[in-house]
Amino acid sequence: MGLDVIQTLEEKIQKLQNGPHVAGLKAVKLHLDAAERHLKRGQAEADDSSFTDVIFRCNQAFEGSVKEAYRVLTDKDPQKKTPAEIEKYLADGDLLRKRVLDQFTRYRQEWRNPSTHDYTLDFDEDEALLAIVTVSVFAIVLCDQIEGKLAYDEAAAAQSSTVVDEPSLPLLELVSQLVHTFAKDHLDAGLARGSVHLRYPRIEGSLAGFLSAELAKFPDISVTPNKRIGRLEVDVLIERETEKVVIELKHSAAERGYSRSIIERALNQVTRYIHELKASGAVILEYSPMAPMYEVEPGPGELRDIVRIVAPYPMISD
């Protein structure tokens, strides 16, 4: 039986939208298949050199992964850059999501750089297994970010539906109206076309792209998806002069209404974001594939004036 993480990667690649990145990621998966064969040979034949061969194959998979990250996240051809240039660009830039960056950094520090700069190194079975798992997980979470970026690009390129034409509205009210429109119109439309298994990265990317398209008419408003603030990461950050609104997306499998426990976790998160960013407000969107309708309600208690909750209707607790 193959390693589960490699199987998971294959499933992720199969679900991605078509494009040059798909061929590149399939090549990454082939390198990992070869690495697994080297691992099994080393285990069966007591051939320690096979474990070092695993690392070299994993390095090729890693380089292929960062090339496809560069291709999609920058909309540029990676063939014009060396692997070292791409790695430095991704390491120094603000393009990778935190979970992707963590795996990227770990593999570079523990396997990629040591094996590249010291040709005398030998690796054992445990190191070989960890290398396969680490680079596979990196490719998996990278696929999620690629999916979100492609969804963002598609939604951002769409024609604005002119949902809101009142720039004088407080930013929190403006954003909550748009998030509500996205939930009740765009999510339902996707489900009606049979896209029942819409995944979180795609929804998150589509939401940020929709907001970008709708708010493009207001030059003083900026939309930043996946905004990192230290160890925190905000799904979407909307800014206008001194106003800042954070958006937190949550997925629920509830068949009716919203999940109280999910909303409570989201409230804890956005309260922290508001404090760290000195934000003026937050919008929580809880999405359920079973939801026929969505409504907007203010946050509870002291959060009433600074938080809006967009969730399935009727709003009943779990």
pLDDT score at 192? 38
Distance CA 212, CA 251 (A): 21
pLDDT score at 175? 95
What's the token pair of residue 52?
A: 């070092």
State the amino acid at position 209 in one-letter form: G
Counting beta carbons within 10 angstroms of the beta carbon of residue 185, is it exposed (0 to 12), middle (13 to 18) or buried (19 or more)?
middle
pLDDT score at 188? 59
pLDDT digits (tens, 9 = 90+) for 249-301: 998 765 555 677 888 999 999 999 999 899 999 999 988 766 668 899 999 99
Q: Assign 47 a pLDDT band (cuts: 50, 70, 90).
A: confident
Please, what is the Cα angle at 182 between 176 and 185, to 5 degrees? 130
Distance CA 101, CA 90 (A): 8
pLDDT score at 120? 67
pLDDT digits (tens, 9 = 90+) for 157-190: 887 776 666 767 899 999 999 999 998 888 755 5
pLDDT score at 210? 94
Higher pLDDT, 185 or 32: 32
pLDDT digits (tens, 9 = 90+) for 70-79: 999 999 999 8
| C-beta separation of 162 from 210 below 8 A | no
CATH number, domain 163-312: 3.40.1350
CATH architecture of 4-153: Up-down Bundle (1.20)
**Cβ neighbours around 268 below 10 Å, total:** 10
Strand duo 281-287 + 307-312: pairing: parallel
Q: Assign 305 a pLDDT band (cuts: 50, 70, 90).
A: very high
Whether 163-312 and 4-153 are alike in CATH topology: the answer is no
Q: Find the mean pLDDT for residues 90-112.
A: 80
DSSP track, 122-188: ---HHHHHHHHHHHHHHHHHHHHHHHHHHHHHHHHTSPP------TTS-HHHHHHHHHHHIIIIIIH
pLDDT score at 126? 93
**Residue reference for tokens 């297994």:** 129
Helix (H) or strand (E) holding 209: helix 200-215
Q: Find the mean pLDDT for residues 80-87.
A: 86
Which residue ranges make up each domain of the chain? Answer: 4-153, 163-312
Q: Find the mean pLDDT for residues 18-24.
A: 93
